[in-house]
Amino acid sequence: MASLESTRSTSLSESFSERFDNLGVNNNTYERTLARIIENQGKILSELKVIKDKVGRIKNRLNDLEQKMNNGFDITNDKAFKEDMIKGAAKALIEKVIYPENSQIKSKAEKYV
């Protein structure tokens, strides 16, 4: 997590500083609010990194498949390909069936109440 001191010279922190100064917010409140903002930014950046890594892995897999197909490789006879596809399809089906969407949870709760 970034410290308050390390973010003081950024344009983002200067913008917040100006807004808080105009509101007459005391320094302690400003420090706590800015600390929360920085903490949330850290969490967002962490989640973004995970998403970026997953997208990279998907791109790599697609590139591998594309290369195999361009080289005339018959992927339908590849045992690993079949296993990966079956596992992927099974996982997607299980997640779809087991984990309800928020709208489904809400409608069930409303019916119960």
pLDDT tens, position by position, 18-62: 665 666 556 678 888 888 999 999 899 999 999 999 999 999 988
Residue 31 shares a structural domain with residue 53: yes
Residue-number span of the structural domain to which 61 is assigned: 1-73
Domain count, the chain: 2
Q: Is 68 exposed, middle or buried (0-12, 13-18, 19+ CB in 10 A)?
A: middle
Token pair 């006879």 is found at: 77
Residue 90 shares a structural domain with residue 62: no
Q: How far apart are CA 23 and CA 17, in angstroms?
A: 10
Q: How far apart are CA 1 and CA 64, in angstroms?
A: 37
- Whether 61 and 27 have beta carbons less than 8 Å apart is answered as no
Neighbours of 78 (CB within 10 A): 13
Please state the rounded mean pLDDT for residues 77-85: 78
Residue 64 shares a structural domain with residue 97: no
**Which of the four pLDDT bands, split at 50, 70 and 90, describes residue 1?**
very low
Averaged confidence pLDDT in the chain:
75
Backbone torsion region of residue 101, taken as left when φ is above 0, otherwise alpha when ψ lies between -120 and 50, otherwise beta: beta
Residue 68 shares a structural domain with residue 50: yes
Token pair 């997953």 is found at: 54
**Which of the four pLDDT bands, split at 50, 70 and 90, describes residue 110?**
confident
**Which of the four pLDDT bands, split at 50, 70 and 90, describes residue 94?**
confident
Please state the rounded mean pLDDT for residues 61-77: 76
